[in-house]
Amino acid sequence: MADNWVETIAGDLRRWADERGETPDEQGVRILLDLAREELALAGPEALTPQGVRELLLEAFPESVVAGRDDVPTVLDALRRIVAYLRDTGAVAAADADALEAEVDRTGLEFAEVVASVDSEERQAAAEVIAGLMEADGVSLDDQGAVDAWVREFESRPEEERFARTEEYLRQAAELVVPPVRLAPEAELADAARRSGLTGAVLALARWTGERPLTGHGTLTEDDAEAARGALGLDAPRRHGQMEDEGELERLWWAAVEAHVITAENEAAALGPAQPDLEADDDAALLAAWLPLFDAVVVPEHDYADGLDAVELVQNELTGVLIHLYEQEEPTEPAVLAEALLAHVEEAYDLTDTETMPALVSDAFALELASLEDWGIVERSGTGRALTPLGVWAVRKLLLADGFTAPVVGELAGARASELITGLTWYRPEAADEEIDGWLASHDPKDAAADLLDVMRTGGPGARNLAAAVLHRIGQEAAGVVRAAQEHPLVSPYAAMWLNAAGDPSGRELAREEYLWVFVDTVAGMMETAEPEEAVEAALIDAPPGAEMRAMVDELWRTHHPAVADVLEALGAHHPDKATAKAARTAAYKARSASQGAHRGV
């Protein structure tokens, strides 16, 4: 049949319906026919089988079409009209048409559940995106009038502009995600804040200052500043190598003022409203008073237009250093931190003294690192440096204030399975194990298994892989739920592996085609969040060696998985064995050719 058989069949079906006085949903019919050709690779509608009906409704349609619960009856009716047309025109035998109709009826309820699940998640995801777009535009979600006005304006824009705006928001949102962390108990954090050198220095400065006149710039007079340095032990500048810092008192002063530990108004100083909280026994009040101090010292506002020395340059970039430490799984050597900092400084600033500045920046960074340790924000770990629990808490607060998504291990314990799987994308292995254990402990095993299987039915390869991994942590209690899910094409091989591993009587070894499909699905899932080279390296850990792997690659191109060509191309580009890589490139070409041939009706 010609490549444009969808157009031909859609026209014939419309005329057939007109003769019968019926008005089928033409758009629904066309969508189903397109999916049958593009996703099931059918050379014509007469090639549709009962298994194809299941794949069409449970796999191809939910993954390709945005639909709601109310659309289910219309879609099923459109598919029944297609089957009736095939029967009446003799394209399929009556017995085959009966089998197709029976499968539509049998699959209808499951199709409705899949669409409802996807619809709910898509609606929630869309609502979250719209809310994010509004907040990015400064619209308060509590102001219904402003929300309604924003929605009207957004919907009036051309579709291409709305799509581009949403894509940009999602890209930026993905960049504003940091790995999950564990937070220390509030009492432990408050104790650390009480012992912080920053707390001690600011309180000492506030007590010494008391009530006294200030300059017109809101600072201590020269005589008072000199006396304060002596009283606080700051009369000798901090030094390291070629660098010295004479601005420590000024830095503490402005931190105290910005955090309201000291008030500086009308050329007069006094103890500020936050000073009692910084000495309070109330842990929450203490931390609330300490956080602005932290923010003031690590997010300074040195103006480059007025010229910056190396110390001020480094202080301007401290937040980047702290975020780097926050994201690291292991302590980082100071030399590595200094090198990364210098590279950023050279890129961000127009440095005139490029010969001596690297050494000065390195020395200035050593001064700042010592301050961070004294303040209880950074600690030594072997020869490296890491954030203290107080530092982790404080940096996370800073990230949240800047719009980052900063998960905490344990916060997904009560989440839905789909939310758990989405959230785990950002977790490191050890933290992911802890999060999964917490989630499983708070869910009934059967309910947890059922929810995970729903994710596997409706999600992509990455979600399916992760959900399957979590499912394997559930015991025999889930056996009945897993057995009942075996008929779904996307779940069947994973269910078989689970049942086999659990020693269930219905367990079985995977057929060769299923094994190959799972391999492709696994690598495709890894490629959703990792570079192809990293995905291939991870996939090869459990892959067969040498000639066996080459033989498997030779077979992979026949696998009915939409990502098979992409996976083969990744293997061809990154497999360390040249012969296997060459075989993968050849197989990728075959997979592309086979897909194109199927679309042409070959």
Answer yes or no: do 501 and 366 share one domain: no
Mean pLDDT of 504-524: 90
Which of 510, 544, 570 delimits the end of a domain?
Answer: 510
Answer yes or no: do 94 and 164 share one domain: no
| 391 burial level (CB within 10 Å; 0-12, 13-18, 19+) | buried
Answer yes or no: do 280 and 203 share one domain: yes
Of 287-291, 464-468, 584-588, give the lowest mean pLDDT range.
Answer: 584-588
Three-class SS state of 264: strand
Q: Is the pLDDT of residue 305 over 70?
A: no
Predicted local confidence at residue 262, as pLDDT: 96
User: From the CB of residue 138, how many other CB atoms can be counted at a distance below 10 Å?
Assistant: 8
* CB 373 within 8 Å of CB 325: no
- What range does the domain containing 171 cover? 137-175
Q: Is residue 181 part of a domain?
A: no
Predicted local confidence at residue 423, as pLDDT: 87
Q: Is residue 53 part of a domain?
A: yes
Answer yes or no: do 52 and 196 share one domain: no
In angstroms, the CA 51 to CA 244 distance is 76
In angstroms, the CA 415 to CA 441 distance is 12
The first and second tokens of residue 556, run together, are 């992979």
Mean pLDDT of 497-501: 93
Predicted local confidence at residue 261, as pLDDT: 96
Mean pLDDT score of the chain: 87
SS (H, E, C) 499-536: HHHCCCCCCCCCCHHHHHHHHHHHHHHHHCCCCHHHHH
Which residue is it, tokens 């304060």? 228
Exposure b/e, 120-134, CB count within 10 A at least 16 = b: ebeeeeeeeebebbb
Please report, as a single letter, which amino acid is at residue 20: R
Predicted local confidence at residue 80, as pLDDT: 93
Exposure b/e, 489-501, CB count within 10 A at least 16 = b: ebbbbbbbbbbee
Q: Which residues contact 28 (CB under 8 A, 6 or more apart)?
A: 74, 75, 77, 78
Predicted local confidence at residue 124, as pLDDT: 58
Answer yes or no: do 154 and 237 share one domain: no
Q: List, for residues 233-255, the tens digit of each pLDDT value.
A: 998 888 998 888 888 999 999 99
Answer yes or no: do 163 and 256 share one domain: no
Task: Determine the longest span between alpha carbons in the chain, in angstroms.
Answer: 104
The interaxial angle of helices 26-38 and 5-19, nearest 10 deg, is 150
Residue 98: enclosing H or E segment and its boundaries? Answer: helix 94-136
pLDDT band per the 50, 70, 90 thresholds, residue 598: very low
Q: Is residue 296 part of a domain?
A: yes
Predicted local confidence at residue 275, as pLDDT: 95
In angstroms, the CA 400 to CA 377 distance is 18
Residue 379: enclosing H or E segment and its boundaries? Answer: strand 378-381
The first and second tokens of residue 273, run together, are 């409203």
In angstroms, the CA 61 to CA 514 distance is 22
Q: List, for residues 435-450, the tens digit of each pLDDT value.
A: 999 999 999 999 999 9
Q: Is the pLDDT of residue 156 over 70?
A: yes
Give, in order, the Cα–Cα distances in Å from 333 to each of 321, 373, 384, 413. Answer: 12, 14, 4, 34
Which residue is it, tokens 């710039």? 217
DSSP, res 408: B
Answer yes or no: do 458 and 484 share one domain: yes
Three-class SS state of 221: coil
Answer yes or no: do 426 and 397 share one domain: no
Of 152-156, 160-164, 319-323, 520-524, give the lowest mean pLDDT range.
Answer: 160-164
The first and second tokens of residue 202, run together, are 């600011």
pLDDT band per the 50, 70, 90 thresholds, residue 353: low
Q: Is residue 316 part of a domain?
A: yes
With a pLDDT cut of 90, the percent of the chain lying above it is 50
Predicted local confidence at residue 601, as pLDDT: 40
In angstroms, the CA 563 to CA 523 distance is 9
In angstroms, the CA 15 to CA 30 distance is 14
Q: Is residue 408 part of a domain?
A: no
Q: Is residue 407 part of a domain?
A: no
Answer yes or no: do 256 and 340 share one domain: yes
In angstroms, the CA 234 to CA 249 distance is 7
Which of 510, 542, 557 delimits the end of a domain?
Answer: 510
User: From the CB of residue 216, how many other CB atoms can be counted at a distance below 10 Å?
Assistant: 6
Q: Is the pLDDT of residue 163 over 80?
A: no
Answer yes or no: do 231 and 111 share one domain: no
What is the tally of structural domains in the chain? 5
Q: List, for residues 318-339, the tens digit of each pLDDT value.
A: 898 999 999 998 999 999 999 8
154 or 182, which is more confident: 182
Residue 566: enclosing H or E segment and its boundaries? Answer: helix 564-574
Predicted local confidence at residue 600, as pLDDT: 38
Answer yes or no: do 461 and 377 share one domain: no
pLDDT band per the 50, 70, 90 thresholds, residue 121: low
Q: Is the pLDDT of residue 60 over 60?
A: yes
Residue 396 phi, psi dihedral angles, 5° rounding = -60, -40
DSSP 128-195: HHHHHHHHHTT--TT-HHHHHHHHHHHHTS-HHHHHHHHHHHHHHHHHTB---BPPPPHHHHHHHHHH
Of 34, 45, 37, give the one whose Cα is nearest residue 97: 45
* CB 470 within 8 Å of CB 450: no
Residue 18: enclosing H or E segment and its boundaries? Answer: helix 5-19
The first and second tokens of residue 578, run together, are 């040249």
DSSP, res 59: I
- Greatest mean pLDDT among 131-145, 194-208, 474-488, 542-556: 194-208
Q: Is residue 132 part of a domain?
A: no
Of 46-60, 303-317, 466-480, give the lowest mean pLDDT range.
Answer: 303-317
Distance of CA 228 to the CA centre of its chain: 49
Which of 510, 545, 578 delimits the end of a domain?
Answer: 510
The interaxial angle of helices 186-195 and 283-298, nearest 10 deg, is 60
- The structure's pTM equals 0.67
In angstroms, the CA 518 to CA 489 distance is 11
pLDDT band per the 50, 70, 90 thresholds, residue 595: low
In angstroms, the CA 142 to CA 333 distance is 46
Q: Is residue 411 part of a domain?
A: no
Of 69-78, 128-137, 532-541, give the lowest mean pLDDT range.
Answer: 128-137
* CB 595 within 8 Å of CB 38: no
Sort strands 384-387 and 212-213 into parallel, antiparallel or unpaired: unpaired
Answer yes or no: do 345 and 315 share one domain: yes
Please report, as a single letter, which amino acid is at residue 65: V
* CB 235 within 8 Å of CB 360: no
Please report, as a single letter, which amino acid is at residue 307: G
